[in-house]
Amino acid sequence: MTDRSPTDYTIPPEELAPGLWRLPLPIHRHSLGGANAYLIRDADGFLLFDSGADVEECVAAMRAHLDSLGVPFDAIHTILLSHGHGDHAGQARRVAGLAGARIVCHAAEVRFVGYPNGSDDDRRDLVTWMQRQGYPREDITTLLETAATSERGDRRDILLHPDAQLAGGEVFAAGPYRFEALWIPGHTPGHLCLYDGRQRILLTGDHILEIVTPNVGLHPLLKENPLPGYLGSLRRLADAELDTVLPGHGPRIEDFRGRIHDIASRHADRREQALARLTPTPQTAYALAAQVWSRPGRRNWASLHPYLRRNAVGMLAAHLELLAEDHPEVKRVEDGGIVQYRLDR
């Protein structure tokens, strides 16, 4: 759900800190209008944090931005990905091919990027997960057909074959910066932020956004509920001393503590919405998500892309799991492999 108006992605590159530029990359069919890449200069050339989507307007913008800065593609030696969604990683292989650069991401992201098209086992795993959440057969079929095309309505996904896989905690020295790769699963299993405590800079990817609440929910590849860890990471980051907070979408975040509070509050509101719809009759996460997103508007249940429906179900299921843990009157019941939730009054 969008919190604020999409930003302008037609502006030229912005140097937001010494040797660090934001490259705004338009994606015409994206609900937020586009995504950001960040170019960081070092002694060997440049590191690129995220690459944008593999769509015509985004490809053209990347080339135009580099030309305007006088940076040839072959000056880029490393493409470090915050995560594998197509709007952040879709152009990585194209840029790497032009630059001769290496692609780096977290190890947990490699399988996620191609999921569920990497194997028949993955597709069966996704079907089982959807069935457990209460998906009707026709929605399962639609989602599988959409996944098979690697299209998400606004960008193409690509299979990643990174040159290096990270575990989290690695440090990238780039010019005056020493960026630590913070592994914070939640939005995706292998999501990374870049943090330099000395320079007081955080590149957030999709972990913290100014214009939208990041989606965090259950996913077939996540063995645990990522929401408690995600919310805990927000509390820890709120204690950090930061001057520059740069997200994967939209402009720099000026009041990052306020934004963290807003995101946590919106998740609390979503949990209350789920609680308000629980009844003594057990309901699945799918059925409850269809109710929560039932209001008329640009993003109601009927208009949601199948991929976004999966996001909505996963997010609501994560909140339902927390309700079942924290509220004695909320019961999680499983029957025939289907998980449901009820409220005992």
In tens digits, what is the pLDDT along the chain, a chain of 345 residues? Answer: 344 445 788 899 999 999 999 999 999 888 888 999 999 999 999 999 999 999 999 999 999 999 999 999 999 999 999 999 999 999 999 999 999 999 999 999 998 887 888 788 999 999 999 999 999 999 999 998 887 666 555 556 667 789 999 999 999 999 999 999 999 988 999 999 999 999 999 999 999 999 889 999 999 988 899 999 999 999 999 999 999 999 999 999 999 999 999 999 999 999 999 999 999 999 999 999 999 998 776 678 988 888 889 999 999 999 999 999 999 999 999 999 999 999 997
Place of tokens 């950090």: 240
Q: How far apart are CA 26 and CA 56, in angstroms?
A: 10
pLDDT one-digit tens code per residue, 273-292: 999 999 999 999 999 999 99
In the beta sheet, which residues pair with residue 179?
172
Q: Are 317 and 283 within 8 A, CB to CB?
A: no
Look at residue 1 in the predicted model and tell me its pLDDT: 38
**DSSP output for 49-112:** E----SSHHHHHHHHHHHHHHT--GGGEEEEE-S---HHHHTTHHHHHHHHT-EEEEEHHHHHH
Phi, psi of 106 (to 5 degrees): -75, 145
Residue 335, both tokens: 């029957």
Residue type, 254: E
Residue type, 199: Q
Look at residue 3 in the predicted model and tell me its pLDDT: 46
Beta carbons within 8 Å of 145's beta carbon, 6+ residues apart: none
Cis peptide before 251 (omega within 30 of 0): no
Look at residue 307 in the predicted model and tell me its pLDDT: 85
- What does pTM read for this prediction? 0.92
- Encode burial over 241-261: b for 16+ CB neighbours within 10 A, e otherwise: ebebbbbbbbbebeebeebbe
Rg (CA), the chain: 20
Look at residue 155 in the predicted model and tell me its pLDDT: 56
Name the strand (E) or helix (H) holding 319: helix 306-326
DSSP character for 141?
A: H
Q: How far apart are CA 275 and CA 95, in angstroms?
A: 46
Look at residue 300 in the predicted model and tell me its pLDDT: 84
